[in-house]
Amino acid sequence: MPPVPLLLAPAALQALTMVVDEGWCHRRRGLGRWERVGHPIDTLGVAACYAWLVATRPEAPHALAVYVGLAASSCLLVTKDEPVHARVCDGTESWIHAVLFVLHPVVFVAFGVVWRSGGGAWILRAQLALTLAFAAYQFIYWSVHWKRRSARPAA
């Protein structure tokens, strides 16, 4: 297996890019209903891929094929917002999304290598937990907190 830090580098870069996208771009412009619902769904699609890796042994029949199918589906799913993004995002946010689109399959390949090596179960469980925590944050912030914040009268 290649060195674990090398395999985790794309995931770390993806996480950093997501922090910029979520923490700066999204909060600056706000999200419409489509994105408030769609972004947590995207994250759950990613979590489904990691859950498969955690729950399935690499040598199980069709295990790799199912993972590739889940990962490919996730890569397509995250593009669903692009018609909305084309209308509401500035050039910087569009570039950040492009970086995320490039990293998305690379991260899946990296975690697939970890899984196939059989030596990184804790890494996969941690990634699944982090991804589910991020989905929960997205749902709570954009469905509960954002509505309350938006409903407050201007001071």
Task: Give one DSSP letter per residue of 55-79, joined into a string.
Answer: HS-TTSTTHHHHHHHHHHHHHHHGG
pTM of the model: 0.90
Q: Is the pLDDT of residue 30 over 60?
A: yes
Q: What is the pLDDT of residues 104-123, one digit of tens each?
A: 999 999 999 999 998 889 99
Burial group, residue 132, by CB count within 10 angstroms (0-12, 13-18, 19+): middle
Q: Out of 77-81, 114-118, 134-138, 143-147, pick the least confident.
A: 143-147
**C-alpha distances out from residue 113 to 17, 110, 144, Å:** 22, 5, 37
Residue type (1 letter), 140: I
pLDDT at 152: 45
**C-alpha distances out from residue 17 to 6, 84, 99, 141, Å:** 17, 20, 8, 19
pLDDT at 3: 79
Query: 134 pLDDT band (50/70/90 cuts)?
Result: very high
pLDDT at 33: 86
pLDDT at 145: 64
Using the structure block, give the residue that is written with the tokens 């690379």. 106
